[in-house]
Structure 1
Amino acid sequence: MKFKLRYILLVFILVGCFPELKDLKEDDNLTSEVLLDIPSGFDFSTHRNVKIKITDQIKGARYDVFYYSEELKSKGIQTFENEAGETVSEEVFTNNILQNAVYSVVPYNGKSEFFVNIPNYIKKLYVKRKEGYFYSSQIISIENGVASYNHTGAKNGINIKAQSKALTTDALYCVNGSGELFTIDPLNGNQTLLSSMPMGSWTCTIDPTNKILYSIGKSSPYPLMKYTIDTDSWETVTDLGIGGPRLGFNSSDGFLYFSKGSTLYKFDPSTGNELDRWDIIGLDSTSGGDLDFAENGDLYICTFSGLYKLELNGSGDYQSTRISADNLPFLPTSMTFDSNDELWLSNSATSSDLIIMDIITGGWEYRYGVSADNGTDFGRTINDLATLTTVDNDYVDVDSDGDTVLDNDDCAPNDPAIAFKTYTPSKYGTGTVAFEDLWPSSGDYDFNDVALNYRAIVYINSQNLAVKLDLICTAKSHRSGNVNGIGIQFDNLIYSQIQSVSNTQIFENYLTFNSNGTEANQDKAVIIIADNAHKMTDDLTITVVFTEPLDTNVLGTAPFNPFIIVNENREKEIHLPYNSKTNLGSNEESDFIANSGYPWAISISHDFKVPKETVNITNAYNYFNTWATTGGSQKEDWYTDSPGNRNSEHLND
């Protein structure tokens, strides 16, 4: 059977949906007739559970798993000032998933099997493997709901209690136009001022063998400056007569590589003589940025339009291939690879931020600085970065808490109950569950009556069992005039499997609870996040501790079975399509899909921008119809910020 939906959207008042009559205005977009033909059984899900299977017989090998998306999308033209003070307008590009870490683990007894909740449009995963201090990675496909990785390397006999390996320690050397040379510890963000430079600079790079830092002065005659790290001394090699923002040292040939605009130069660091030059093809912006060589010798360059890989083509030019530039809220002015081949960047600001970027996925995060929101503030500009790596061959990595996971891989090295974390929808992303609250009456399908943003963090022990759950929640929209509560049900757990629930927000007096914090008179474990969405605070962290460690497949994946309680009527629950009610919900049967074919709730693995009041979701999102009428097989990313998906004028911020 298929639902035939024909409706005329009328502008009228439904008390449960609209807080005040005076706020409503007639909109021509709300009076159009829409026809949808929705396949029977379609549950409007935008995400799916994927089973990740990792097989690795080498003890202590750690895995980190990320979403992977190859698609890059234009974010339009942005105008900004570059390092030279020039005002430019450039097109900025984006990929879908930036903040994409979902899963970390050391396989137990050689195996790990774990379910993660992944957006339907994600077809691949990026798997990073760490054995001791050695890294490798692979992109794997998701096939029939399963993504498998099998490591076939030989066993190396690691002693899990104490691993004797060379300890690699990095220091980030930084320069700026004010003539400051200073270092930053990448482990904690601590900075140390080293020296005043002969001239301020936009550039620096390090010859790691000889421990020499090179920098080019920012103004004419653009001296090539040389800093000997061991003796803390400066000298000028020569005046280059050319300046610019990008400088790198190639350890494989011992030469300096400098770039300005769309040209790449090679210089002899001992004399400053130009040895070669090439054109760079395909940069979307030629302003700002930096360049550096990865450990394998690959050359990367960033400009204000993002990160690129450079490769010589048949014409003797360097062809650029875009890696990432996802509507970056910062202008990259520097980059350096650390000993783990992770890419560090900084931005152009009075007090710069340090950013980590993955060169495979283009995902990034603020690590230090004001934007990292972790209490660090450098108070100075970082115009360029370089890495100096030192090695301690006598270092021993230990397992302080005795949980069989070495401290370097353990997210809680002093807590034997916790070793890893998993994230839904991702380490830095949020998901949204949005509800209409007029069930079973007709709604306006703007999905802003209650909208809950969430990130779930599951804490895993060394046996890959779940011991604790944090739910970080914000009621991003509560436009309803009703007093609505928000809860979740764990469909595979009973209340006695929960040891404690803390930090829920209970303001009213219409619910009862067990001593462990779960809702009373329920067969399954039910947690009430808040009993009044209007009063719920932002970034609320609810912690659920389990009585005994749980198989993660039994726990399930966030958002679990979320629901709202409508207007303090405990029997009136609204759930996602085809999800079951709790024991306290009414006996009235419902699949939570209206006769018109629309759902009463929708779950998005994304920070969903809800439509404005009375704006039907079909008017706010151009491809919702296509997605729904094809049963989700087309336009799977209809809700993302990809160009053409949204009508921003109809969306709340």
Structure 2
Amino acid sequence: MKKQISQYIEIFILLLITSCAKPDINLEDTSVNDADTINIPEGFDYSTHKTVSIKIYDDTKSIYEVFVTSEDSCFVGTQTYVDESGKTVTKNVYRDDIINKQVLKGVTKNGILEQSVTLPKYCRQVYIRRNDNLKYSGELVDVINNEVQYRYQKTTSKSLFSKGKNGVVDFLFCVNGSGDLFVIDPLDGSYTYLSEMPMGSWTCAIDQENKFLYSIGKSQPYPLMKYSIDNDTWEIIANLGIGGPRLDYNKNDGLLYFSNNNLLYTFHPTTGEKLNTWDINGLHNPNGGDLAFAEDGSLFLCTFSGLYKLSLNANNQYDSTRISADNLPFNPTSMTFDSNKELWLANNKSSSDLIIMDTVTGGWQYVYGVQAANNTDFGRTINDLTTFRIYSDTPDTKDTDGDGIVDSQDAFPEEANKAFEMFTPSKYGTGTIAFEDLWPYQGDYDFNDMALNYKTIAILNSNNLAVQIDLICKVKSNFAGYSNGIGIEIEGLQSDEIENVTGAIYTENYIQLNPNGTEANQDRAVIILTDNADNLVDETTISIILKEPTTTEAIGTAHLILL
């Protein structure tokens, strides 16, 4: 393989570096006589990524996920919608976008989870999320000297509130109009990022038995969205065509109760079919708020004019009785009952407060948030919240493949040699590499010979060792005068350490291969993805299966090669 021009761009499992290689070419026609005339400062760093060592210490077998963070919020777009006060507004919408940038998932073994990952150069902190049987906690941790160290310490601080009855642990699931789903621990006010929603929302409700969270999008076509708490996945059930701020799930009839203004509806959670409609009488201000069922089946509703209890009258209409004072200093946007029968509310602010209210007297107090003055500023809006209960006596233990990782946390629940995935650049993101075969000569400043979109996934077993590497790639543009091929060289692996390579595409008949699919006559493991870039105009997955489980640190650096 002849290599005349080399450039290095970090991308791959730990660090994927690109190099260009071309056959002999005649440069006599170029208007630049000497490429060395370009003045590049000595020691200039071309790299855009860095290799970071992640070390997590925890004596329990909890699941950990690591996410890339940035200092700037992600601009979602300019959106027009009806807000909770009933006004049509057009605003720029931003969100943190942390959960879309997962790079690692694994479990602690013998008290430690250790991996090397590739992070963008700009990343100064990672977000580490811990999952102990759906009991979530999370923390931002600094990247110091290309290393992240996190040691789990069980919270021992006292709380104003006890755990739920009979060992039940409550968590408050929260959503907002920016499309954030996050969890608040009512014992200490700490919050954990959970997921990005398909659409921002004013509503959420939980089916406890089936572990589903339901939410209705805040704008047309008002989709009914369902989130699996076990699997961390979303699906759209139906487009309801109507929106509003109030939603709860009634465990007694298995229906979703939804309210907007002076109307109350029921929807079937499986189909989205609207089943019933009732009028609500007596609301002083019909805007905003939420509704919630108490444990005895009583239905409570709040609006910007306070808390009400609803009762069905002889005319099949709901009468409302106001419980709270008529001059609350906040506009409630959401409410939920916890296992201790406490009613939690959140207010309509850019950084919401959490409030507990007495359903008999209407008395209330700030518990968390800026107004509580206890250093629990959430820095985000809570447009709705609902309670999820975890029963300590019935942990999730289903493990189909017997690898020690429960199915709900196993990316491959029926394959014992696979459990987790590690992503570059991130779980939901892709990277792009642009090539020029004659750069830096004049006429080749546009970097349009070829642009390759990529994502790499290192598949790990339950011991956090790599067993397979998937490279998902697609040629986005290809305007080179040559028929270029693309390959990778993995510095830390020899050809005989690879069991098999699948998914590569060859049409030009000049690549010599070993029986396992690696390129022949190479000192290191070289995998040619294709011998003609035009073969990768559709998204293609090339899989590299390893003979023995290997640490990602041992796999090391890889080079992307343009043939």
Same fold (TM over 0.5): yes
432 and 392 in structure 1: CA distance in 2 versus 1, 3 angstrom threshold: same
Q: Which residue of 2 aligns with 1:561?
A: 559
475 and 267 in structure 1: CA distance in 2 versus 1, 3 angstrom threshold: same
CA distance in 2, matches of 1:36, 1:86: 58
Q: CA deviation at 1:294?
A: 11
Q: CA deviation at 1:200?
A: 6.7
Give the alignment partner of residue 52 of structure 1, picking from 37, 51, 54: 54
CA distance in 1, matches of 2:54, 2:390: 36
Q: CA deviation at 1:530?
A: 1.6
235 and 268 in structure 1: CA distance in 2 versus 1, 3 angstrom threshold: same
**Does 2:269 match 1:268?**
no
Q: CA deviation at 1:498?
A: 0.9
Q: Which residue of 2 aligns with 1:138?
A: 139
Whether the 8 Å CA contact 1:432–1:453 is kept in 2: the answer is yes
Secondary structure, aligned partner of 1:109: coil
CA distance in 2, matches of 1:75, 1:217: 27
Q: Which residue of 1 aligns with 2:104?
A: 103
**Does 2:290 match 1:247?**
yes
* AA partner of residue 307 (structure 2): F
**Does 2:514 match 1:473?**
no
337 and 118 in structure 1: CA distance in 2 versus 1, 3 angstrom threshold: farther
Give the alignment partner of residue 171 of structure 1, picking from 212, 218, 221: 212
280 and 108 in structure 1: CA distance in 2 versus 1, 3 angstrom threshold: same
Q: Which residue of 2 aligns with 1:485?
A: 485
Pairing 1:455-474 to 2, within 5 Å after superposition: 455-474=455-474
309 and 555 in structure 1: CA distance in 2 versus 1, 3 angstrom threshold: farther
Secondary structure, aligned partner of 1:534: helix
Q: CA deviation at 1:320?
A: 9.6
Q: CA deviation at 1:404?
A: 2.3
Consecutive unaligned residues of structure 1, counting only runs of 5 or more, are: 1-15, 17-34, 155-163, 259-263, 282-289, 325-331, 340-388, 566-653
Q: Which residue of 1 aligns with 2:33?
A: none
Deviations 1:142-189 (A, max 9, x none): 0000001112449xxxxxxxxx999974234567999x9989573577
Q: CA deviation at 1:450?
A: 1.4
CA distance in 1, matches of 2:438, 2:464: 42
Q: CA deviation at 1:72?
A: 2.6
Q: Which residue of 1 aligns with 2:64?
A: 63
Q: How many residues align?
A: 435
Q: CA deviation at 1:547?
A: 1.0
Q: CA deviation at 1:56?
A: 1.1
TM-score (norm 1): 0.56
Whether the 8 Å CA contact 1:483–1:533 is kept in 2: the answer is yes
Q: CA deviation at 1:246?
A: 5.1
* AA partner of residue 486 (structure 2): I
Pairing 1:372-387 to 2, within 5 Å after superposition: none
CA distance in 2, matches of 1:182, 1:477: 38
Deviations 1:286-324 (A, max 9, x none): xxxx7567989684769xxxx8544765699xx997649
Deviations 1:45-78 (A, max 9, x none): 11101110011111x21101111224236677x3
* AA partner of residue 550 (structure 2): L
TM-score (norm 2): 0.64
Whether the 8 Å CA contact 1:436–1:443 is kept in 2: the answer is no
* AA partner of residue 308 (structure 2): D
Q: CA deviation at 1:420?
A: 0.8
49 and 190 in structure 1: CA distance in 2 versus 1, 3 angstrom threshold: closer
CA distance in 2, matches of 1:298, 1:140: 30
* AA partner of residue 41 (structure 1): G
Q: Which residue of 1 aligns with 2:246?
A: 204
Pairing 1:119-158 to 2, within 5 Å after superposition: 119-153=120-154
**Does 2:10 match 1:41?**
no
CA distance in 2, matches of 1:181, 1:89: 19
**Does 2:550 match 1:550?**
yes
Deviations 1:192-248 (A, max 9, x none): 99xxx9x976243338899998967546xx14679999xx99876634254446526
Q: CA deviation at 1:556?
A: 2.6
300 and 61 in structure 1: CA distance in 2 versus 1, 3 angstrom threshold: farther
Secondary structure, aligned partner of 2:475: strand
CA distance in 2, matches of 1:265, 1:423: 48
Q: Which residue of 1 aligns with 2:118?
A: 117
Whether the 8 Å CA contact 2:128–2:138 is kept in 1: the answer is yes
224 and 122 in structure 1: CA distance in 2 versus 1, 3 angstrom threshold: same
Whether the 8 Å CA contact 2:225–2:234 is kept in 1: the answer is no
**Does 2:451 match 1:451?**
yes
CA RMSD in angstroms, aligned pairs only: 4.8
39 and 249 in structure 1: CA distance in 2 versus 1, 3 angstrom threshold: farther
CA distance in 2, matches of 1:75, 1:233: 35
527 and 300 in structure 1: CA distance in 2 versus 1, 3 angstrom threshold: farther
Identity in percent = 30
